[in-house]
Structure 1
């Protein structure tokens, strides 16, 4: 939601202001304004929870939040500009220093430029402070309440029960059979001594976890197998007292006035002693094992064969609870979706009406993409619409524009979202910018998050860990079933790509509409006033620069495929004055205009698989650039000599191009972490200066023509991955490679390295043995 974006931007602002406050005060003369900005933003943050809650129903509040967000982005741009230009002038200062003959009263050219720049920034800061004054006045009109976030403010899930009509469940027979099989399976001796086995059902919100548990709970085989069956709706927070009371009251069939956890646990032990029981804990969220252990230990008194059945959206929760079997819920088929939808939508209708609406109904069922909750919501919606035209309107509408869907579907997904940290919320909601059914490359996604500032911290020493933090955020989102269709690398160790389910994507769009937008098949012009992230991919239609002229100045992300030379104009690049992420994948131009150097805030540029033949020297003015993706640029033969100026560059991909050698200036890239030279057929060697890249973690030379590795590679103490697969010209490794203490994997498959030193033969890098023919 909007509060996550504002909080994230505000965190960055406070960090920048804190870090640079003295310079801002003395150089700009805006001490008062800086203090006011901090104070006002703090007051706004105090009421964000209340404002966000009211924004669902009050359009004025929603517009107010969007205005704050827009201001925060602009404020971040101003501070980013000041820091960047200040550092740039410091680097150039020796070249323009005043001669010794100059008097102290005659400022140098450098000093004049600095004064002009400071004056310009000061004006912008004062203008922002004035805008914030107006926002504060509007805030007072709404009488917001300063609140802290608690579970009482979050949407609550209705408490579940064990009762369900099995005849109304569609497409879950196989799932039920598999779970029942695990519940009635005979215990192994060791497992039986450790207490009841835990079986877990996991999946995204709305996929039918509770329904499956209800179906299993009421099965005749289960009823006869267990002496006691108990159903507890856990939800969030994990309240040990509440759960213990529910177990006692469920077995005794009466209320209890016991108020101490220890007494309740002893009561549970006396009740369940020497009985085979099934305990269902529905909708578990907590990952804190200390909350679970006391209850788990009290349940060890049951007979062998006792079971605990857990439903959760998070695999991490299931593992924390010690699950021996984890059942992942899959989507239902289009046929089952249609049967479920028709059962709900056609309730009470005549046979003639059903036949008339069948075709359009089947198409609507397909749009639900196998998510049972979406099918049920749609079925309930259609039951109230009695004509084919109204059903067609439902089919043609975007799901987030339907009040019924927002009310009944998204609150369930919001529970998963609300459990995320602010940074994770930003990272998740950003994915709305990608088209539906888009295959997202995880490493690219992490670098984009970095470019947007979502992975920065107040601890400067952690900046070298941003990629690792990004992976951690992604894994957390996966554990909450917010991504699907996960593809792993050939070692099955890392997820390399994923997709978002359409309903989850719709939810992300709902959270960020008016800020993130992916152009569809039929739009002619983008008209969203406060748009900050735009994707023009997979549309099948060329992008017309005139169609985005109204929003281009505020864009922080812009993705467009197959852009022609006529479309990539200097005006277009100059207009992208706020852009941080620029995706120009598969574009058809041969030369990148020099105006690219004006994009001061740019941190990520993707030119992969484009026809670019050379990069302009102006690209070396992109002081903040972190990612330079030139993979698959088959016409590219060299890099600019000034590339060493890109001191924040962390990732370079030069795969499958004509580069014959790397410029010496690359040795100045002391933040570089990944160097990809995969498939570079004209590159026969790496220069010795590569040893200067002390933060380098990954070198990919696979399928290149490299003949020899420099000895200096053995000084890369942070190197973790060395990919030499398919290097058929490489016959040996440098002596000392085994001393790379952080190296986790070295791939020699397809190379000619067949003679290793004794120490290399006996070495296993990071616990992963080297691979060779």
Structure 2
């Protein structure tokens, strides 16, 4: 991790020397000092591999590395401060120079003072590095050649991309556990009474042995699905937070979020929801041994039908006994043969059989060193996938790390071996994840944006490659893939032991209060997570030096804790996560946080952002999702020239957006674009061709004249080729003419399209003429449309939802869009839904003939609240796997 940090600093120093040498000499007078810093740090990089290896046994070396990292952070802060103040001067000086009360000599003097201050800091750092270099020499480190980090990363990414599609990680998880699964399923479905409540069955075993994997295997079993009316999965972990657990159960059973804020109300809701149902509740990773924490929840579950079950996973038999388990299933270590099968399935993926045979003997010996732990076998298999020769495999087997007692006891050597094989940037990105609490659901894109804010990666594509590489090496698990692209991971978690390992690596840098409640006064803490469960803690007095923090995640903080002093203190912060905080207005002092690159205010009560936020010229991400009270964005937002992600999704009080948004050169994610009389025009979107992902265009005013058509054409929506989801939303009463809609032709690459409350009588023709890649289409509240376009033409359409089309009366053959011999209407459609079409009476009974094929892939048909509908094509009633007809009283189904 120190290598990546130093590499980043060295790269900055080289860039400064190459591109700003004259300014260094003229205004700072520190060109030699910059050159000395880069030269000395490059020399130190050559011994870091040996230093980090020896730090396990030598506490002096460990302290030296900590001192070196602390120094590198200081250098990074100073260089970033210089760049930022220079950028600020360039942006602000034109306005200031025109001021009648601030003469030019005053501006130049101010610039000189800033540069003199930076020069002083650089000279002090050069002196400090002399001391660190002299200390290095006393350890007599071995020197190693250093490959430039960027080149190494590129090479590694190329290797990753070659094997990405060859292996499905989830397929290997169940090796050697079929008999365990069978025994558990039998216990769960056996016919026995529930007495005073659902019977508790526990899976016990050491960390990394596969308890959660086994529970997941059972949870997804078809027999279990058929046996239980309700199934709920809850991650418990430590500490045992009864309120969060109860809330999660309520939201899982009701399939919606809840506003209940009192524990008793939640428990009563659980009792009423599960009463009279046979349910299965899985409580994964339970640690508490206190029955007073468990009993309130247990009592709320007592009214389930006989046969209801609670399945618990835990490392402790005392936990299982406290919960009243009627059956304890002890999970044993894998046999050496099963461990080898699991390891080899991953390691040999995509290889020729003769190559595998040459490596088999060594691989079996490595599998034995995994000591029967599935997690160890999986991690080692992921490591060996990238080792192609017998020599490389033998090096893994012979590595001295297996012999280090401390590593074997605390870390598991397989994790350290796999970690050691990562590039410096990958090590840095992985280690950072220690800041999140255990069982935290990691959103991949959000994590990548945070890595960018910390300068671990420079662009999203680089971050995505690093993330995928870590996932392929089994550092992440529970991977949730994109429904439209199975190669893209959206969410993931870290295994508890992998999380423990990351915390060990960053024990003096990353700190989640949730996990270390008694540990205080960490000297060089850089990244802090402060969950709401510890909301009353005095941060400044008990935890760390706030001024060194580079990440500060604090959920649901109170007004008394969000003080101007706190914002003034966070002088090095890059990432500020204030999800769900109660403050109504951000203090203007936030403008002093010149290093800040990432702000998360999602789900907070903030109503207004101070103009001072517009001086954060390094800001890359501003997340305002669900800030329902937010009324406006600052007029000067156009000054945020590095802003890449602006999330204003579900900001319902936001009426307009400043013109400056359309001038942001780096903006690639804009969740919503508001068109209105006092807001932007459609034509203002012209330069936003770099937008990616999803975009919602909200129409707040009528657009139906020639000038509006011209604005729509100027928007050049068709050129925004990276937009994959488009949502067109029309305010109540807003009229947008069909000519304007025709001019808003979206890119051919679009995959998802939604119309919400469209008032026109006809849909634009481009829906069926140019969207060959469209996979999902929704018409919601299109009240004046009496007919549907020929949607059967869409070759890629998989999901079609039509809701609240009140003027729709008839669906005929034109809906199919095809008539020629051999044609297929809706060739890929899987899900078709009609909701609340109150005047719809007839759906023509299309007679499928040999010449025309209709909806060959249909799996799900929903017809709900279509009260006048009388006919439906017969072949559609018989073909879908799922047929859901509700409140369609006029429809006669034979």
Between 660-669 and 35-44, report the one with greater CA deviation.
Answer: 660-669
What does 1:584-599 correspond to in 2, within 5 Å?
584-599=578-593
Between 518-527 and 586-595, report the one with greater CA deviation.
Answer: 518-527
Given the superposition, is the C-alpha separation of residues 77 and 602 from structure 1 closer, same or farther in structure 2, using an over 3 Å criterion? same
Instruction: Spell out, residue by residue over 1:87-122, the C-alpha distance to the aligned partner (whole angstroms, 9 max, x if none).
Output: 22122333344999x9xxx97222111111111110
The separation in 1 between residues aligned to 2:626 and 2:427, in whole angstroms, is 33
Q: Relative contact order (alpha carbons < 8 A, sep ≥ 6): 1 or 2 greater?
A: 1
Counterpart position of 1:748: 754
With normalisation by structure 2, the TM-score equals: 0.56
8 Å contact from structure 2 (residues 657, 680) kept in 1: no
1:692: Cα distance to partner? 2.5
8 Å contact from structure 1 (residues 435, 538) kept in 2: no
Counterpart position of 1:643: 637
Tell me, yes or no, if structure 1 residue 668 matches structure 2 residue 672: no
Tell me, yes or no, if structure 1 residue 630 matches structure 2 residue 662: no
1:569: Cα distance to partner? 1.3
8 Å contact from structure 2 (residues 623, 647) kept in 1: yes
The separation in 1 between residues aligned to 2:40 and 2:339, in whole angstroms, is 54
Given the superposition, is the C-alpha separation of residues 312 and 690 from structure 1 closer, same or farther in structure 2, using an over 3 Å criterion? same
8 Å contact from structure 1 (residues 543, 567) kept in 2: no
Tell me, yes or no, if structure 1 residue 112 matches structure 2 residue 123: no
Given the superposition, is the C-alpha separation of residues 555 and 233 from structure 1 closer, same or farther in structure 2, using an over 3 Å criterion? closer
Tell me, yes or no, if structure 1 residue 172 matches structure 2 residue 295: no
Q: SS at the partner of 2:20?
A: helix
What does 1:452-531 correspond to in 2, within 5 Å?
452-456=454-458, 466-491=459-484, 493=486, 494-520=488-514, 523=517, 526-531=520-525
Given the superposition, is the C-alpha separation of residues 592 and 84 from structure 1 closer, same or farther in structure 2, using an over 3 Å criterion? same
Find the partner of 1:125 among 99, 122, 126. Answer: 122
Q: SS at the partner of 1:527?
A: coil
Given the superposition, is the C-alpha separation of residues 751 and 233 from structure 1 closer, same or farther in structure 2, using an over 3 Å criterion? closer
Between 405-414 and 615-624, report the one with greater CA deviation.
Answer: 405-414
1:760: Cα distance to partner? 4.3
Find the partner of 2:337 among 214, 218, 221. Answer: 214
The separation in 2 between residues aligned to 1:744 and 1:30, in whole angstroms, is 52
Structure 2 residue runs of 5 or longer lacking an equivalent are: 148-173, 183-206, 214-332, 368-376, 389-403, 704-710, 776-795, 803-894
Tell me, yes or no, if structure 1 residue 677 matches structure 2 residue 672: yes
Find the partner of 2:143 among 139, 142, 146. Answer: 146
Given the superposition, is the C-alpha separation of residues 542 and 761 from structure 1 closer, same or farther in structure 2, using an over 3 Å criterion? same
Find the partner of 2:769 among 749, 762, 768. Answer: 762
The separation in 1 between residues aligned to 2:581 and 2:334, in whole angstroms, is 48
Q: SS at the partner of 2:70?
A: helix
Matched pairs, number: 568
Q: SS at the partner of 2:480?
A: strand
Counterpart position of 2:73: 73
1:61: Cα distance to partner? 0.6
1:453: Cα distance to partner? 0.2
Counterpart position of 1:551: 545
Between 643-652 and 484-493, report the one with greater CA deviation.
Answer: 484-493
1:578: Cα distance to partner? 0.4
Given the superposition, is the C-alpha separation of residues 711 and 54 from structure 1 closer, same or farther in structure 2, using an over 3 Å criterion? same
Counterpart position of 2:260: none
Q: SS at the partner of 1:748?
A: strand
Counterpart position of 1:346: none
8 Å contact from structure 1 (residues 315, 479) kept in 2: yes
Tell me, yes or no, if structure 1 residue 137 matches structure 2 residue 134: yes
Q: SS at the partner of 2:523?
A: coil
Tell me, yes or no, if structure 1 residue 692 matches structure 2 residue 687: yes
What does 1:154-553 correspond to in 2, within 5 Å?
172-174=176-178, 211=334, 214-215=337-338, 404=406, 406-407=408-409, 409-456=411-458, 466-491=459-484, 493=486, 494-520=488-514, 523=517, 526-547=520-541, 550-553=544-547
8 Å contact from structure 2 (residues 10, 38) kept in 1: no
The separation in 2 between residues aligned to 1:653 and 1:99, in whole angstroms, is 35
Counterpart position of 1:55: 55
Q: SS at the partner of 1:517?
A: strand
Tell me, yes or no, if structure 1 residue 6 matches structure 2 residue 6: yes
Q: SS at the partner of 2:716?
A: helix
Given the superposition, is the C-alpha separation of residues 631 and 17 from structure 1 closer, same or farther in structure 2, using an over 3 Å criterion? farther
Given the superposition, is the C-alpha separation of residues 232 and 174 from structure 1 closer, same or farther in structure 2, using an over 3 Å criterion? closer
Q: SS at the partner of 1:482?
A: coil
Given the superposition, is the C-alpha separation of residues 502 and 667 from structure 1 closer, same or farther in structure 2, using an over 3 Å criterion? same
The separation in 2 between residues aligned to 1:453 and 1:426, in whole angstroms, is 10
The separation in 1 between residues aligned to 2:419 and 2:383, in whole angstroms, is 16
Given the superposition, is the C-alpha separation of residues 118 and 311 from structure 1 closer, same or farther in structure 2, using an over 3 Å criterion? closer
Given the superposition, is the C-alpha separation of residues 519 and 14 from structure 1 closer, same or farther in structure 2, using an over 3 Å criterion? farther
CA RMSD of aligned residues (A): 4.4
Instruction: Spell out, residue by residue over 1:391-417, the C-alpha distance to the aligned partner (whole angstroms, 9 max, x if none).
Output: xxxxxxxxxxx9646546432111221
The separation in 2 between residues aligned to 1:216 and 1:481, in whole angstroms, is 15
Q: SS at the partner of 1:582?
A: strand
The separation in 2 between residues aligned to 1:280 and 1:550, in whole angstroms, is 45
Tell me, yes or no, if structure 1 residue 701 matches structure 2 residue 692: no
Between 552-561 and 416-425, report the one with greater CA deviation.
Answer: 416-425
1:439: Cα distance to partner? 1.3
Counterpart position of 1:735: 742
Q: SS at the partner of 1:534?
A: strand
1:318: Cα distance to partner? 7.2
8 Å contact from structure 1 (residues 608, 633) kept in 2: yes
Given the superposition, is the C-alpha separation of residues 71 and 18 from structure 1 closer, same or farther in structure 2, using an over 3 Å criterion? farther
8 Å contact from structure 1 (residues 232, 281) kept in 2: no
1:660: Cα distance to partner? 0.6
Q: SS at the partner of 1:701?
A: strand
With normalisation by structure 1, the TM-score equals: 0.65
Instruction: Spell out, residue by residue over 1:198-232, the C-alpha distance to the aligned partner (whole angstroms, 9 max, x if none).
Output: xxxxxx987699956714989xxxxxxxxxxxx99
1:486: Cα distance to partner? 2.3
Tell me, yes or no, if structure 1 residue 573 matches structure 2 residue 580: no
Instruction: Spell out, residue by residue over 1:44-93, the C-alpha distance to the aligned partner (whole angstroms, 9 max, x if none).
Output: 00111111111111111111111111111111111111111112212233
The separation in 1 between residues aligned to 2:444 and 2:123, in whole angstroms, is 40
What does 1:76-87 correspond to in 2, within 5 Å?
76-87=76-87
Given the superposition, is the C-alpha separation of residues 69 and 21 from structure 1 closer, same or farther in structure 2, using an over 3 Å criterion? farther
